[in-house]
Amino acid sequence: MAGVLIGLSFYLLDDRGVEYFDLSPYDYLGFPLPMRAIGWLGHHHGVQGTGAAPMTGAEMEQLRAISRRLGSVTLGWHDCDFCGAFEGNGEYRYYLPDGQIYAAPMMIMHYVEEHGYRPPGELRDGLRAAGQPQWDWRAERLRAVLLDQSEDPDFRCQAAVDLANWNDPRGLDALWHAAHDEELADVAGDEIGRSLAAFVARGLASNLLAEDLHVMVRYGIDEASGR
Ligand SMILES: [Zn+2]
């Protein structure tokens, strides 16, 4: 086990994964936007938030609704520290309308449902107010990263994943350009396709279906739309 000090935040890293205090700055993986950690539980700090009120049915539904699309599935699989019966890979990124971004592990729902984890009040308040985020500086930044050929390909891939959070033609336009960037489509085509499928489902991009697209982009669209 090793403790790693990076910038102002401290996280614990061992063969079982990464552990954060809730709301710490998230810096496990590089990301083009500042995020705060939610639900990165482990055996050192145990289950956090157990003194808080239980999640209501409505809160559970809202959390489930924003936990649909995983990013960074390259994180690697690891088992739940508390029961060993569940493994997760990847993270959810929550773009709340109040401007905050939270990164949560795939296992967050498992922690809530099976181990009595309660996310901090900041997230629960944000969930109650949640709706579709409006186009803002976060979306602008992701759009710029996606379109910049000198950017890290993994950042561009994560930007393609997250731009689907905004129901806005500027996001669709950037994804369309990314789909036609041969080099990027070779490595991130399936994620670009999944994001484009979200716009097709909103009725904004039906003309895409007839287009001659990169095979990986087409694959992502078909997978996401269950074709
Ligand atoms: Zn467990």
Task: Annotate 53-103 with DSSP letters as a single string.
Answer: PPPPHHHHHHHHHH----B-GGG--EE-TTTSS-EE-SEEEEE-TTS-EEE
Distance 60 CA to ligand 1 centre (A): 17
Q: How many Å apart are CA 111 and CA 136, to the nearest integer?
A: 31
Distance 5 CA to ligand 1 centre (A): 27
pLDDT, residue 130, reads 66
Q: How many Å apart are CA 145 and CA 137, to the nearest integer?
A: 12
pLDDT, residue 7, reads 39
Strands of the chain, DSSP E: 2-6, 9-14, 17-19, 25-26, 35-37, 78-79, 87-88, 91-95, 101-105
pLDDT, residue 68, reads 84
Query: Which of 123, 28, 40 is CA-nearest to residue 80?
Result: 40
pTM: 0.87
Distance 90 CA to ligand 1 centre (A): 16
pLDDT, residue 64, reads 93
Q: How many Å apart are CA 11 and CA 203, to the nearest integer?
A: 42
Distance 203 CA to ligand 1 centre (A): 39
Distance 202 CA to ligand 1 centre (A): 35
> Per-residue pLDDT for the chain (227 aa), expressed as one digit of tens each?
344 444 334 455 544 468 899 999 998 777 889 999 999 999 899 999 999 999 999 999 999 999 988 887 766 777 898 998 888 888 999 999 888 999 999 999 999 999 999 999 999 998 887 677 899 999 999 999 999 999 999 999 999 999 999 999 999 999 999 999 999 999 999 999 999 999 999 998 888 877 889 999 999 999 998 87
